[in-house]
């Protein structure tokens, strides 16, 4: 008899009440095997047995979760059974391809009706075992259909008056219910959609079992910042986009489950530090403490290298602390994740501008063996329209930095002046534009309008952020583009002249190109404008390292998929290479660089710097 461990799994009885009787059938003649016993007043599954000496009757109770033998018709000793037959057609019901995974005993192969589906059911006939199971495909058939669980949130009328987090996240019951929606695919496409390669089915299985700490630790094998990624990463365009459930319905809420597991670990004070290997004696300098820099720091530290992160601002976290509002990513969450890295052994030097205090070459002279540049894209980009130098026109970078990092929303507790406007216009359609608009509303603006030159379908912002903005009363003017700003005699902004757009042929990004409609200009009253049309690389780093190769747009030009630069021992990744992208994409680039840096340090850093062409 051959034991097949690939196709048989313990049947999940989630949602089937204990004691539920299952209707069972012969797979050959299709006759029912259930019979009623007036003496016990119970239903039993009746079978014929053949032993070395005699034939008899065996009866098992077809109830979830145990197939208990009848006291008067129990199975004979397992060693004496030669065959088990259908009482109707007398054909053998033993499955010669299966053996019990618990006791290695004989296994019946029968049909069972579960949740109005007929599936192949395997039952061990050893009375001391009572194992039963179904194969993976049939398990999906009987799994109850569940709707995607909704995250509890603050009411829109309440949240526009505070900076508390909008979403409350899953509780235990919602998390387990959502985890039960996962199909546990043999070839999980969701893993392929994750830039850092988290074993998504494995951590969801742990959530389903209630092992929330195990789930958090499984995620941290690939992602050092799960509480952050669970909140701000666009899962709908990555892992959830690849989910099989999304073909006909809504995908599993992978991001919400990731956030829940990470929050549970932190809130129960159960964060477990990984064992560090012996120090390698190699030192790695990381420029920038954003998502890419923090991810690489964690990966280098657990490999035994000495890691120092240099941050230009007075708080670590990069865009996580200066760019993303408190109501979307609480700063306490970022501080907790960074504290985890410090406990790993990462050293963080604040108020240190590389390119001014030290150059890249001076980092090598100070004893570092490798340098990773993850400075992001923090340079504001403006529209270059007439009147853009009027008072109360700000870049999204300055506005969000004042509010988020410098806590202008808590004035006068924090003495940072807060830019204010009664009628605010936000130009742009990305997540940064949504952050600006929703922040302005919380700062007391009477009316906030987002101008976007394409339609809602082409907006690059996350659907969740757009939906939240609409709930909060943000106005959207689609197919609208500003052409000039108009001020008063004191040079304060008073109006913006706009033009209606129409969509033309696709541009290089694949989206329809917006074209101005002749004679459609109109004026819009406003007293504050926030420009959120993108960001570029800060040139400070390059002033101290002019030999670092850059692209025509000013970003670092890497030589291969692992982020090697043209200078030996220097890597780069994140927005400083790709331009503005997502947190998880920056982390994915850092993970690739970490593997390459580790191999470089382990193999010795002498000899010629070999940088293979980018794929």
Judge if 28 and 93 occupy the same domain: yes
Cα(566)–Cα(610) distance, rounded to whole angstroms? 9
Q: Are 408 and 416 in contact (CB under 8 A)?
A: yes
Neighbouring C-alpha atoms within 13 Å toward the C-beta of 231? 22
Judge if 407 and 363 occupy the same domain: no
Cα(438)–Cα(386) distance, rounded to whole angstroms? 26
pLDDT confidence of residue 605: 55
Domain at 254, CATH number: 1.10.1060.10
Judge if 298 and 217 occupy the same domain: no
Cα(392)–Cα(370) distance, rounded to whole angstroms? 43
Q: Has residue 399 got a pLDDT over 80?
A: yes
At which of 201, 232, 267 does a domain end?
267
Cα(403)–Cα(409) distance, rounded to whole angstroms? 6
Judge if 290 and 254 occupy the same domain: no
State both tokens at 389: 């130098």
Q: Are 8 and 135 in contact (CB under 8 A)?
A: yes
Domain at 546, CATH number: 3.50.50.60
Query: Which ranges of 180-286 would DSSP assign to H, the alpha helix?
Result: 189-192, 200-208, 212-219, 226-232, 254-267
Judge if 18 and 99 occupy the same domain: yes
pLDDT confidence of residue 71: 79
Q: Has residue 245 got a pLDDT over 60?
A: yes
pLDDT confidence of residue 64: 67
State both tokens at 480: 């609208």
pLDDT confidence of residue 511: 84
Query: Which ranges of 127-253 would DSSP assign to H, the alpha helix?
Result: 136-142, 156-159, 172-179, 189-192, 200-208, 212-219, 226-232
Residue 558 lies in a domain: no
Which helix (H) or strand (E) segment holds residue 344: the answer is helix 331-344
Cα(466)–Cα(463) distance, rounded to whole angstroms? 5
Cα(175)–Cα(153) distance, rounded to whole angstroms? 15
Judge if 467 and 481 occupy the same domain: yes
pTM of the model: 0.80
Residue 611: pLDDT band with limits 50, 70, 90: low
Residue 54 lies in a domain: yes
Residue 38: pLDDT band with limits 50, 70, 90: confident
Q: Has residue 429 got a pLDDT over 80?
A: yes
State both tokens at 15: 């949602």
Orientation of helix 254-267 relative to helix 172-179, angle to 10°: 140
Q: Are 118 and 104 in contact (CB under 8 A)?
A: no
Residue 452 lies in a domain: yes
Judge if 262 and 288 occupy the same domain: no
Judge if 529 and 390 occupy the same domain: yes
Residue 408 lies in a domain: yes
pLDDT digits (tens, 9 = 90+) for 106-137: 888 999 888 778 888 888 887 777 788 888 77
pLDDT confidence of residue 104: 85
Cα(220)–Cα(258) distance, rounded to whole angstroms? 10
Judge if 168 and 193 occupy the same domain: yes
State both tokens at 271: 């964060």
pLDDT confidence of residue 12: 45
Q: Has residue 246 got a pLDDT over 60?
A: yes
Residue 276 lies in a domain: no
Judge if 463 and 576 occupy the same domain: no
Buried b (16+ CB within 10 A) or exposed e, 571-610: bbbbbbbbbbbbbbbbbbbbbbbbebbbebbeeeeeeeee
Number of Cβ within 10 Å of residue 304's Cβ equals: 17
Residue 1 lies in a domain: no
Number of Cβ within 10 Å of residue 519's Cβ equals: 7
Judge if 475 and 516 occupy the same domain: yes
pLDDT digits (tens, 9 = 90+) for 548-605: 999 999 999 998 889 999 999 999 999 999 998 889 999 999 999 999 999 999 887 5
Beta partners for residue 373, in sequence order: 287, 572
Residue 59 lies in a domain: yes
Q: Are 39 and 61 in contact (CB under 8 A)?
A: no
Residue 614 lies in a domain: no
Judge if 19 and 110 occupy the same domain: yes
Mean pLDDT within 269-282: 90
Specify the length of the chain in residues. Answer: 615
State both tokens at 351: 């108020």
Q: Has residue 3 got a pLDDT over 50?
A: no
Q: Give the chain's domain count.
A: 4
Q: Which domain holds residue 466?
A: 386-395+403-533
Cα(475)–Cα(483) distance, rounded to whole angstroms? 19
At which of 533, 560, 579 does a domain end?
533
DSSP 110: E
């Amino acid at each position: 008899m051959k034991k097949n461990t690939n196709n048989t799994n313990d049947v999940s009885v989630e949602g089937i009440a204990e004691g539920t009787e299952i209707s069972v059938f012969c797979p050959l003649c299709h006759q029912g095997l259930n019979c009623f016993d007036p003496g016990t007043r119970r239903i039993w599954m009746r079978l014929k047995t053949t032993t070395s000496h005699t034939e008899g009757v065996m009866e098992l109770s077809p109830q979830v979760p145990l197939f208990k033998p009848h006291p008067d018709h129990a199975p004979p000793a397992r060693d004496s059974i030669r065959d088990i037959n259908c009482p109707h057609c007398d054909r053998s019901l033993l499955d010669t391809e299966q053996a019990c995974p618990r006791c290695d005993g004989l296994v019946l192969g029968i049909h069972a009706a579960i949740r109005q589906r007929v599936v192949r059911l395997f039952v061990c006939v050893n009375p001391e075992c009572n194992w039963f199971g179904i194969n993976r495909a049939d398990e999906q058939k009987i799994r109850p259909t569940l709707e995607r669980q909704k995250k509890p949130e603050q009411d829109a009328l309440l949240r526009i008056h505070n900076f508390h987090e909008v979403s409350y996240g899953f509780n235990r019951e919602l998390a387990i219910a959502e985890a039960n929606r996962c199909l546990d695919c043999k070839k999980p496409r969701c893993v392929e959609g994750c830039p850092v390669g988290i074993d998504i089915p494995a951590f969801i299985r742990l959530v389903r079992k209630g092992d929330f700490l195990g789930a958090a630790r499984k995620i941290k094998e690939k992602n050092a910042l799960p509480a952050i990624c669970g909140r701000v990463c666009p899962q709908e365009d990555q892992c959830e986009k690849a989910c099989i459930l999304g073909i006909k319905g809504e995908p599993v809420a992978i991001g919400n489950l990731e956030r829940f597991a990470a929050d549970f670990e932190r809130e129960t004070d159960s964060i477990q530090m990984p064992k560090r290997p012996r120090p390698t004696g190699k030192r790695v300098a990381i420029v920038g403490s954003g998502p890419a820099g923090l991810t690489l720091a964690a990966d280098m530290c657990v490999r035994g290298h000495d890691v120092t992160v240099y941050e230009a601002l007075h708080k670590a976290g990069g865009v996580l602390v200066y760019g993303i509002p408190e109501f979307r990513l609480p700063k306490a969450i970022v501080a907790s994740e960074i504290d985890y890295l410090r406990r790993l052994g990462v050293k963080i030097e604040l108020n240190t501008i590389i390119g001014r205090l030290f150059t890249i070459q001076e980092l090598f002279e100070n004893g570092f063996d490798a340098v990773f540049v993850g400075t992001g894209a923090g340079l504001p980009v403006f529209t270059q329209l007439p009147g853009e130098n009027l008072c109360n026109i700000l870049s999204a970078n300055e506005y969000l930095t004042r509010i988020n990092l410098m806590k202008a929303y808590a004035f006068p507790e924090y003495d940072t002046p807060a830019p204010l406007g009664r009628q605010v216009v936000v130009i742009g359609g990305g997540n940064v534009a949504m952050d600006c608009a929703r922040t302005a509303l919380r700062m007391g603006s009477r009316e906030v309008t987002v101008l976007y030159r394409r339609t809602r379908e082409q907006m690059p912002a996350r659907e969740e952020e757009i939906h939240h903005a609409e709930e909060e009363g943000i106005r959207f003017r689609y197919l609208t583009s500003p052409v000039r700003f108009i001020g008063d005699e004191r040079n304060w902004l008073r109006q913006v002249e706009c033009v209606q757009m129409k969509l033309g042929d696709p541009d290089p990004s694949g989206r329809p190109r917006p074209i101005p409609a002749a004679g459609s200009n109109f004026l819009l009253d406003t007293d504050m404008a926030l420009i959120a049309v993108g960001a570029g690389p800060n040139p400070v780093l390059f002033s101290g390292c002019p030999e670092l190769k850059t692209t025509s747009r000013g970003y670092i030009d890497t030589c291969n998929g692992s982020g090697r630069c043209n200078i030996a021992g220097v890597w780069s990744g994140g927005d400083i290479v790709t331009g503005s992208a997502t947190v998880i994409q920056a982390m994915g680039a850092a993970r690739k660089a970490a593997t390459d840096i580790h191999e470089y340090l382990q193999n010795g850093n002498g000899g010629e710097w070999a940088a293979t062409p980018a794929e």
